[in-house]
Structure formats: C-alpha cells, structure tokens
Amino acid sequence: MMINRYLDHAVLAPQMTRHEAIEWILSGIKHKVKTVCVRPCDITLAVELCRGTETEVSCVLGFPHGTACTETKIAEAKLYCKKGVAEIDMVANYGWIRSGLWNEVRSDILGVTQVAHRRWRKQEPSNVPVKVILETSQLTPEEIIKATEICIEAQADFVKTSTGFNGEGATEEAVKSMLQTSAGRIKVKPSGGIRDNARAQRFVDMGVDRLGVNGSSTPNICGGTENSNEKSGY
C-alpha cells in the first residue's frame, strides 16, 4: 500500500480560519490520503469537499484532553455519525488511566464504540471505526500496555499514541509496546512528530495500520515539498 493511504491528515488547529481549513482539506484530497482528520466544526465542510474522492473524513472527539463526561462523548459520537464521518478519533481520559480507574476508562470508551458501531446510514457498507488516543507521553509503559488491553475489551478498532498537542508524540518504544500487546486484536496508529517519509515508513515497517500526521507534513511524507507551517499540532 502506498504511504499516502496510511495517512490521517490532521486539520485540527483551533486558530485555523475557514479558508485555511479548506486549503488543508483540499491538500489531503490532492494527496489521496486515507482521511482528513478535522475539528467537529468542520465535519459538514469536509464531508462535502471529500464527496466523490478517495479521501474520507475522520473527526476528533473529546479533544484534546479527554476529560469530557462519558455522556458528552456519547452525544458527540451520535452527532458525528449522523453528520457523516467515516471514522472517530476519541481521546481517552488519561487522568483516569494514570489513576488506575480501569472500569471507568473501559465504560468511557465502550459508550462511544457502541454508538459508532451502529449502522447509521443505509448506504454505508460498514459502521464507524473508533480510534482511541491514549496520550502515551503522559503514561508509563505499564499503563500503555494495560490501556491497550482495555481498548480491546471496549471494542475499539484502533489504539493511538497521541493528540499531538501534549508532550512528545509517537515513539518507537510506545508503538512497539502497543503492537506487542495488541497481537493483531486491535490496529495501532502512531501520531505526533511524523514529519518525513523515512519516519513514516519506519512505523509502517513495524506493522502499524495508520499514521496521524500534521497536514503540513503530508506533501513531504508523500514525496513532495515540505511545508514548515505546522498548525495542526501534529
């Protein structure tokens, strides 16, 4: 698979204007990335721009801190599905992870996956996959392993390293731990700090299924000219 088809092209900076969001979404479409990962306020815009292209729309939920009430996350998931997102990237409550509140973490994720895995649109062949962001820079290796197991129990489709907005992004150590723990039971998505083709390919060679990248880095990763204007946080 070509490297562009691994990419979730992030368009997430809170200060981004509507014009800038359109430019970044169109850049993702131009490079035929797997998804453009957008702010909730841009779902309708992104769905319209991506219609008829090879690029789908993913959206962040509970972003970037993961501390919203579970009921709020569930309501967000319902709204996003109805608006037509293809995938959801939710932030786990990593304060709860650090507290060892595993039942609460599991329920928080399961509330979203149960909503997202329903069939919302008759024309769609499948339900909406959920990627769970752990914010691995804030966790110990043991917490990363346990949180990955919890994501599997909560029926998530992917476990993901980072928001790109808090601390270090994806590290090879964290990704290796997630891959070994998953043992093929859940897909793994490194995100944060992946800004060139060599680093992207290194993670792909490790066995990941998706990559979260700053929209400004997509041209460079795909073999074009790097844009140093990194607004998305990735």
Catalytic residues: 89, 160, 189
**How is residue 234 annotated by DSSP?**
-
Cα-Cα-Cα-Cα dihedral sign, residues 201, 202, 208, 214: negative
Q: CA 103 to CA 112: how far, in whole Å?
A: 15
To the nearest 10 degrees (0 to 180), the angle between helices 141-153 and 102-116 is: 40
- In Å, how far from its chain's centre is CA 59? 8
Provide the residue type at 44 as one letter: T
Q: How far is CA 93 from CA 6, 61, 72, 106, in A?
A: 26, 11, 13, 10
Q: What token pair was written down for 16?
A: 């981004």
Q: Which residues contact 65 (CB under 8 A, 6 or more apart)?
A: 91, 166
Strand partners, 8: 35, 212
Beta-strand relationship, 87-91 and 158-160: unpaired
Q: What token pair was written down for 83?
A: 């608006």
Q: Is 152 exposed, middle or buried (0-12, 13-18, 19+ CB in 10 A)?
A: middle
- In Å, how far from its chain's centre is CA 70? 18
